[in-house]
Structures are given as C-alpha cells and as structure tokens.
Structure 1
Amino acid sequence: MAHIDYYFSTLSPFAYLAGTRLEEIAAHHGASVTYKPLDIIALFARTGGTPPAERHPARQAYRAQELDRLPRKLGLPLNPQPAHWPTNPAPSSYAVIAAQGAGGGDMGALVHGILRACWAEERDIAEDAVVRDCLERAGFDPGLADSGLLSGAETYSANLEDAVEAGAFGSPFYVVDDGQKFWGQDRLDDLDAHLAGRL
C-alpha cells in the first residue's frame, strides 16, 4: 500500500484549492496519508523560494490571475485578499497535528475546513474559537485546540526538517513513499495516475 506525506501550509490558497481531492485519490488507491503542516516562509528560506509579497511584480500579477481563474475552474469560492491573511498559522497547524495523533475524525475535512475558513469565510485561523469550530465540524474533540501545544510545536518544526530532506519546497507538496514528488494542486491528476501505475 502506498503512503503519501502531505506537506502544506494552513495559509496556502493552493492547498485550499486542492479541496479534498487528495483524500479521494488516496481512498481510491488504498493509500495512507500523513499530514505535515509547516512554516511555509521558513521552507522558502531553506529551499530558495520567495514569500509572495517579495516576489517580482510579474510573478505577483500571475499569482493574482491564478487566484482568479482557479476557483472558478474548480468551483470553490475564494477571496484573493482575505481579511485575515497572513495570520499566525501555528495554532491551526498544532490542531492538525493533535487531531492526527488523536484520531476519531476526518482529517481531510479538518484541513480543508481550516483553509476554507481563511480563504472563503473571512475567519482568522489563529483564533482559538475558529480552530475549535473547525475541529468539531470535522468530528474531532474541540479541546484538541488546547492540548498538546508543546508536542505540536516540536512536530511542526520537525515537519519543516522532513520537508527539506524530502525535497519539498512549496505548498501543497505530495511525496509518495517510492520517492515520487508532486508540487501543487494542479499535479493531483498526476499523483492519481502515478498511484494507478500509469505514470
């Protein structure tokens, strides 16, 4: 059975635009997934990337066009300039880590719910009430927002190191246990084809 390490930022619009397609693909192929939220700005610094606000105007303009086109293509609402972006991604990331450890809910729904809160619902995912609501809606104990903060911080840092070692450099980034890597929500079809043995 294949395994996928999923590296992402809870602030990434492109991770939001992935929807729950990763989970659908994994279920179709019987693959398991480990969710590895990380500090995307630190990842950029370690792997030659540039934060969006510091990119050349041409790159910023292209990103803006993509954030206009892709939501319409994928049928997902998105505010390209959300009220609470950027914000502190640590609380939501720690909640994802705690939920994965605790089990009992739907991880795909949790991750997508956090991303949707930022990019479509104008909610601040650094706020405890928002994180608790996302946990509860995905079938997890909302108290996970308050527990495991130390271990969450340690895992959050470890995820960054794992990403660098695995060759990940953006969000979303999918690494299969056979070494194949897929960067971006627009490569999910390729991930699907790879798991099916067609790529």
Structure 2
Amino acid sequence: MAHIDYYFTAVSPFCYLAGLRLEEIAARHGATITYKPLDMIALFARTGGVALPDRPDCRKVYRLQEIRRQAAKRGLPVVLKPKHFPTNPAPAAYAIIAAQAAGGGDLGGLVHGVLRACWAEERDVAEDAVIRECLSAAGFDSALADKGLLAGAETYAANLEEATARGVFGAPFYITDGDERFWGQDRLEDLDLHLAGRL
C-alpha cells in the first residue's frame, strides 16, 4: 500500500488551496497519509526560504494574484488578506497531532477546516474556541484541543527536524514512501500520476 507524508502549516494559503484533493488522490490509489504540521518560518530559516514580510514587493503582489487565481480555479472562497493572518499555527497543529493520535474522525476534513477558518472565514486559528469547533465539525472530541499539549509540541518540533532532513522546503509538501517529492498544491496532479505509475 502506498503512503504519503504530508508536511504543511495550519496557516498556509496554498495548503488551503489544496482543498481535499490529497485525500481524494489517496483514496483513489488506496494510499495512507500521515499529516505532519510544522513551523514553516523555522523551516524557511534552515532551507533558504524567505518569510513573507521580508520578501520583495514584486513577490508579494504575485503571491496575492496567484492565490486569487488558484482559488477561482478550484471554486474555493478566499479572503486575500484575512484579518487573522499571520497568527500562531502551533495551537491548531497540536490539536491536529492529537486528533491523528486519537483517531475516529476525519483528519483531512479537520486540516482543511482549520485552513478554511483562516482563509475563507477570517477566524483566528490560534484561538481555543475556533480549534474546538474545527475538531467537532470533523468528528473529533473538542477536548483534544487541551490534551497532549506536551506530546503535540514534541511532535511539532520533531516534524521540523524530519522535514529538514528529508529535503522539505515549503508547504504543502508531499513525499511518497519511495521518496518522490512534490512541492505545492499545483503538483497534486503529478502526485496522482506518480501513484498511478505514469510518472
């Protein structure tokens, strides 16, 4: 059975724009997914990336145009400058880690719900109430927002170390069990073709 490690941050617009396509691709190929939220700013510092505030204006303008176009292409509502971005992605990441450990709900739905809360609903995904609502909506116990915080913090840090070692440098980033790497929601079609044996 194929497996995909999915490295992401809970506040990336491009992770939001992936929608649920990763989950659809995995289902089509009988593949499993491990969700690995991480600190993207720390990853940028290690891999040559540049945090958004430090990028030249030309890149900032292009980023907004690309978000708008990709959202329209995918039929996803988007707020280009949401009121709660940037925000601390760690609390939502810890909840996602706890939910993955607990099982019993729709993990892909949870991840997308958190991203949608930021990029379509202008809610602060660092807030406990927002995280609890996302957990409940995806079929998880909302109390997971408060459980396993130490384990969540340790896994969050370990995900960063693992990502750096495996060549991850942005989000979303997908790695198959054969170490085939795909960066960006616009490479999901290539991931699909790879799992089908066509790339």
CA distance in 2, matches of 1:21, 1:132: 24
1:159-199, Cα deviation, whole Å (9 max, x unpaired): 00111111110010000010100000000000000000000
Measure how far apart 1:68 and its partner are. Answer: 1.5
Overall identity of the aligned pairs, in %? 68
CA distance in 1, matches of 2:51, 2:89: 15
Measure how far apart 1:52 and its partner are. Answer: 1.2
Measure how far apart 1:53 and its partner are. Answer: 1.3
CA distance in 1, matches of 2:67, 2:5: 25
CA distance in 2, matches of 1:90, 1:45: 17
Amino acid at match of 2:95: A
Q: What pairs with 1:39-58 in structure 2 (closer than 5 Å)?
A: 39-58=39-58
Query: In the alignment, which residue of structure 2 is the partner of 1:106?
Result: 106
Amino acid at match of 1:111: V
Query: In the alignment, which residue of structure 2 is the partner of 1:38?
Result: 38
TM-score, normalising length: structure 2 = 0.99
CA distance in 2, matches of 1:115, 1:5: 18
Q: What pairs with 1:62-141 in structure 2 (closer than 5 Å)?
A: 62-141=62-141
Q: Give the CA RMSD over aligned residues.
A: 0.5
Amino acid at match of 2:129: A
Partner SS state of residue 33, structure 2 = strand
CA distance in 2, matches of 1:166, 1:2: 18
1:53-98, Cα deviation, whole Å (9 max, x unpaired): 1111211111111012111111000001001001111110000000
CA distance in 1, matches of 2:152, 2:66: 32
TM-score, normalising length: structure 1 = 0.99
- More displaced, 129-138 or 67-76? 67-76
Partner SS state of residue 122, structure 1 = coil
Query: In the alignment, which residue of structure 2 is the partner of 1:188?
Result: 188
Amino acid at match of 2:133: D
**Over 3 Å off, 4+ runs:** none
1:12-70, Cα deviation, whole Å (9 max, x unpaired): 00000000000000011011100000000000001000011111121111111101211
CA distance in 1, matches of 2:91, 2:57: 31
Amino acid at match of 2:37: P
Measure how far apart 1:149 and its partner are. Answer: 0.2
Amino acid at match of 2:77: P
Structure 1 gap segments, 5+ residues each: none
**1:179 and 2:175 are equivalent in the alignment:** no
Query: In the alignment, which residue of structure 1 is the partner of 2:198?
Result: 198
